[in-house]
Amino acid sequence: MTLTSLTIEPLTPGIGAEIPNLDLSEQLTDSVMKELEQALLDWKVLFFRDQTIDVEDQKRVARWFGELDIHPTSAPGAEHAELIRIAEDEKLRAHNDIWHSDVTFKASPPMGSILRALEMPPVGGDTMFADMYAAYEGLDDEIKVKIDNATALHVWPPGWVDIVMKWQNMDRKEFDHRFPNPEHPVVRTHPQTGRRSLFVNAAFTRQIIGMEKSESDELLTFLYIQATVPEYQCRFRWRKNSVAFWDNRCTQHYALADFYPQKRTVERITICGDKPV
């Protein structure tokens, strides 16, 4: 039976929705994919349960939305260079329990990501998502005036710099030339919805350009806290074969590290994005 319309079940009034009637392993029609795109724009992150898909299905769905991104730390020559596997246990931790948008240390950060759960703990290991439209809209006018035209420096994590230099056989001077740390607007405009969202995060943003460091640190700390407001959030409890698809341009996420010594294994496909404006 061909699916003609999506069932959308919101998790909260503002962010997050489950779609219970979509099988991502099927060849979906263009009209269904357009409806899926609109649901993503409306709800910022979508969730799907009991998806018996493989990496090719995951890539096929992602490609409808754009070119697939290869993470800078992907191993050269990997069979699925676009795939990121995150396997965690008590000895190997991902350290992604911090509010962030993915890979904002690139000049053009990803548009979004599709994450598939392969192995999940019986309890714990949830992921939280924050609506950064709401985070911006909730600011008072005085703060908005200060940040509306501001830009901020985003930087590479030091450990990832070391990995890229090793795998690509380059020194730090060549790395800095090829991968300069970008400056992004503190408030970006979504290229499809036209809405404005807060675009700084505690993982990768370091300083607001043109401000003294002490003033920048104080303001950034305040802006980072906006992702932690419960009314701007949704929380997803994973099960094996659950899938999440989030819009990286207007959300942040936080993977809870509360499940050790249990294991958590996920695989992510990321979609290329454009330069924030």
Strand order in the sheet with 127-131: 233-236, 127-131, 251-255
Q: Which of 116, 196, 253, 264 is catalytic?
A: 253
Distance between CA atoms of 269 and 83, rounded to whole angstroms? 5
CA atoms within 13 Å, Cβ hemisphere of 38? 10
The answer to whether residue 253 is catalytic is: yes
The answer to whether residue 190 is catalytic is: no
Q: Which of 100, 154, 184, 188 is catalytic?
A: 100
- For residue 119, give the amino acid letter: E
H helices present in the chain, as ranges? 30-43, 55-63, 132-137, 141-147, 158-167, 172-178, 213-225
The answer to whether residue 184 is catalytic is: no
- For residue 76, give the amino acid letter: P
The DSSP result for 188-223, as a single string, is EE-TTT--EEE---TTTEEEETTS-HHHHHHHHHHH
Q: Which of 116, 154, 249, 268 is catalytic?
A: 268
Q: Which of 57, 102, 131, 247 is catalytic?
A: 102
The answer to whether residue 148 is catalytic is: no
Sign of the C-alpha dihedral, residues 170, 152, 202, 187?
negative
Greatest CA separation for the chain: 61
Catalytic residue IDs: 100, 102, 253, 268
